[in-house]
Chains A and B, each alone.
Chain A
């Protein structure tokens, strides 16, 4: 029975698969280019669809080539005519040859050991492996120490935000605890492997259980983890819930799109206004492109300032609101220990309080050209890896002065007044 049924099921499955594939294609074709009449040509150069394997922009390409020239390697590879299928035959031939050589060598070795079998003893593999385990333990621990030494200054640089300091604290506590357990258990494992390797006259002991030990090593991790959980939970609640309920804050919006960021500042009224994704890239009165889909019928929106740089005021609570134009992105601010997804259709937020201005931080870490960076940390498409903006932290008075000097995205007669920035 099986002989008949199985091929039938297979063909059914294949049929289903082709049907879906065809349906997918035809749907995609009809759906391809419904030109939105309201949409103007998008002027955003970073918006170019990069999905036709287009070469990289020339300046980027130049930068890469000069920076990481691998000329010798490139030349070596060039000399092989890769178009030629002969190349692949050669590769396969070489692999086959290697396998044959390996096989013959194995046979020869086996033959030799058989001929001289009576005189030469097989090496003691138990001893060899035991020693290897012990050696591995020391090399492993040494390599970790070495790695920490050479990259010390880059690992977890000082936190630039207030909540980040408590996150760092629990991170270091966890680090110390797990580090201790790590060293002890790895050492025990490899030392046991070395010490109790098979030997003449050694017998294993019969020791199937010990309930007291089990209880001991259930309760100790349980107690330690409970402490970690309680501590971590408090920091988590402080970071997310308490900060989010802060009474006084400055709002800034991070707007993510393929592949870049725009930042919206509330302008004189201190409020971020309404948005509507259907208005994305439409033309605003005055000729500017509505790159972040402002709904200018809302007066709170009308005075909003849209910029390509993220400027944060120092020493106050900043509420970073997040939106996305197209796919998932994540705002990742490693120096501020802050991260939140930008979800199309679902606004998200993260509150933080910067502790130092960029200048202050530079002198703290002794790097005059240092900059805080904002990265995208959720896979979003071809240029995900280059979705970057620099972050500038300034004194609060400089921030407010800067904001009142900036023009809103949409300029009309009624919002030309420059009110003082009000605190919410």
Chain B
């Protein structure tokens, strides 16, 4: 592709754009929108969980089909509570944390950090976004149909998801869900193939795998996980479509419902679906988490002004997590009636996966130790991620242990675990990424003070919502319960649920601070220079990357991505594109006019270390 700009129409520039930076922004904005939808749905059902039977009449105009008229109040219908839970999970897991996070930052950073002009196949890249867009539209539409959206939980276990007579959401709502997911998977595969081929083939001169930034490593492994596991979900979804629409019985057997036995559909197994689902479902957890960890690694190294501690150990643990993630799916199914011996094997491999995770945590801590920590907004979210990763990771040791999983399976302990380690962690990684790379996307810096408010409100409310759920789970309170009024062991937590609901509402409200900041900073934000955080990776070598990213030649890479505070170097950072000879010549890479390729400005930098930002 030519590096020279050529005039483009509005449509090809902003809508059906093939430029990876525009596609990244499209992913980000769609992801943020979906995030608000998913967040709203959770606030919606948290109102019911906090104040059982609360009047939600004020939502009647838009969400009337979710409410039931009890005579003097419009309360949330019990089956629509399940619909909300299902859609909240689906939207956040797939549309925000898979497409919104991976799609945004893989697209933005892969070409910029490896020194490529664009993706290997820009057209496929564009197609990937538009499949995602259509999928999002269908998913959103399904919220408003009369019988309600899919209601069988985000795991859509059949037979509940296969039988419209079992729950109304399994009618048209479920069909829309399956169609949207099929498109989503297609989109995700197109994206992932592109990321893999770009990283393998298009790295700039000198950028060996040993010098790759950890972001790229994590995007690379994430893409491989996605390519290998998403097709399995697609096949599971197709078989479910067959069972629902064409009378097959892959997942159905011995069912009597609504006054009739399904004698024509027999011989299948609902457990088969769970195996297929979790074969994607578990790697999916790492598809979500690894990009967030990669982003955090870069943000922490940059802002602690230290090399990431144990770069090789970090890469090896990412590799270990990737390989292991394919053989642990059975830990979601310990009590489904799976062969107990098989359960034991899954338990062993599951607990092994805790080792690379522990290594990553200790390495983050060692990176912070004796650093010079700049509390940029991105850095705050990165530190928040580490805290959440510790809290949520440790509870995984309970749930991965098959014996302990017997009483804890499907309780609020599980809800707390995955919301902290996967949901909130990944969201924090995404926020860290947005604050950190906003200057590369829009040429400006987001408002720092609003960022602080956003971080602290979010961080505190996340812990207030999810930490108490551990206690609820230990007492055995099951998840996906519309109300806690029926059981003695659940009833005692009603007050605690009010507290969680209030925290959830505050947390959701705090996101509007982010939204305001995100939108207004595009126009009013402080102008960012070429390298506002004094970072080392290639994307910071060029101000406002245009079409083809670098105006002239692509810079060469000479060193690893984390040469911060290196002894013998005047400044506390040393970019990848500076060779040892450049350093000897005294190239002033701190200067705004510095050219990463020609390097003709050779004023020696002064000995004082400049403050970042």
Contacts and interface: CB of A to CB of B under 8 A. Distances in A.
Given A21-B172, A174-B397, A277-B256, A381 B166 contact: yes
Contact of A125 (B57, B82, B448, B564): B448
B218 to A, nearest CB: 19
Given A24-B245, A133-B383, A222-B355, A229 B476 contact: no
Highest count of chain B CB atoms <10 Å: which of A67, A68, A164, A206: A206
Contacts of B380: 129
Contacts of B308: 208
A202 interface: yes
Nearest to A185: B390
Interface in A396-411: none
Contacts of A136: 459-460
B3 interface: no
Given A203-B565, A228-B351, A14 B463 contact: no
B566 A206 contact: yes
A39 interface: yes
B68 interface: yes
Contact of A241 (B77, B340, B398): B340
Interface string B342-354: 0110011001101
A341 interface: yes
Interface residues of B, number: 172
A87 interface: yes
B476 A2 contact: no
Contact of A188 (B12, B263, B365, B409): B365
Contacts of A218: 313, 355, 358-359
A208 B297 CA distance: 13
A82 interface: yes
Contact of A233 (B335, B336, B348): B348
Given A151-B496, A328-B160, A345-B268, A204 B572 contact: yes
A78 B340 contact: no
A196 B486 contact: no
Interface residues of A, number: 160
Nearest to B468: A147
Nearest to B449: A125
A337 B402 CA distance: 12
B20 interface: no
Nearest to A38: B261
A93 interface: no
Interface stretch (A51-59, A266-274, A298-306, A413-421): A51-59
A258 B127 contact: no
Interface in B135-180: 138, 147, 152-153, 157, 159-160, 163-168, 171-172, 175-176, 179
Interface in B503-547: 516, 520
Contacts of A281: 256, 259
Interface string A4-30: 011001100110110011011101100
Contacts of A371: 488
A186 B359 contact: no
A97 interface: no
A247 interface: no
Contact of A373 (B306, B366, B488): B488
Nearest to A41: B259
Interface in A323-346: 325-328, 330, 332, 334-335, 337-341, 343-346
B161 to A, nearest CB: 9
Contacts of A228: 351, 397, 401
Given A53-B68, A136-B460, A339-B335, A330 B410 contact: yes
Contacts of A345: 252-255, 266-270
Contacts of B347: 229, 232-233, 236
A235 interface: yes
B340 A346 contact: no
A209 to B, nearest CB: 5
A277 B254 contact: yes
Given A68-B51, A125-B375, A155-B475, A236 B403 contact: yes
Nearest to B169: A51
A246 interface: no
Interface in B262-321: 263, 266-271, 304-313
Interface string A368-390: 00110101111111111110100
A280 B361 contact: no
B27 interface: no
Contacts of B343: 236, 240
A423 interface: no
B407 A339 contact: yes
Secondary structure class of chain A's binding surface, majority of residues: helix
A3 B401 contact: no
Nearest to B86: A379
B179 A174 contact: no
Interface string B5-22: 000000110001010000
B368 A193 contact: yes
B126 interface: yes
Given A192-B369, A196-B372, A198-B374, A186 B391 contact: yes
Contact of A56 (B70, B165, B259, B352): B70
Contacts of A61: 70-71
Contact of B516 (A21, A77, A99, A133): A99
A65 interface: yes
A380 B127 CA distance: 37
Nearest to A67: B485
A125 B452 CA distance: 9
A143 B138 CA distance: 43
A254 to B, nearest CB: 13
A164 B254 CA distance: 32
Report which residue of B241, B258, B307, B467 has the largest number of chain A beta carbons within 10 angstroms of its beta carbon: B258
B407 A189 contact: no
Contact of B383 (A193, A326, A338): A193
A382 B79 contact: yes
A102 interface: yes
Contacts of A258: 166, 257
A14 B394 CA distance: 44
Nearest to B460: A136
A373 B306 CA distance: 55
A94 interface: no
Contact of A232 (B166, B305, B340, B403): B403
B244 interface: yes
A258 B256 CA distance: 11
B52 interface: yes
Contact of A17 (B138, B305, B344): B138
Contacts of A102: 516
Contacts of B456: 132
Given A83-B61, A206-B565, A225-B351, A388 B486 contact: yes
A156 interface: yes
A339 B53 contact: no
Interface string A33-44: 011100100100
A130 interface: yes
A366 B263 CA distance: 51
A174 B369 CA distance: 28
A293 interface: yes
A217 B403 contact: no
Given A178-B397, A382-B82, A167 B403 contact: yes
Nearest to B409: A339
Contact of B157 (A20, A209, A328, A340): A328
Contacts of B493: 151, 154
Contacts of B391: 182, 186
Given A171-B407, A205-B565, A381-B166, 13 more contacts: A2-B126, A27-B246, A78-B55, A88-B62, A103-B516, A157-B475, A206-B567, A221-B354, A232-B347, A277-B254, A281-B259, A328-B270, A330-B409
9 contacts: A13-B183, A24-B172, A53-B68, A87-B61, A136-B459, A171-B398, A203-B572, A341-B335, A381-B79
By Cβ-Cβ distance, the 5 closest A-B pairs, closest first, are: A334-B476, A345-B253, A348-B337, A240-B340, A382-B79
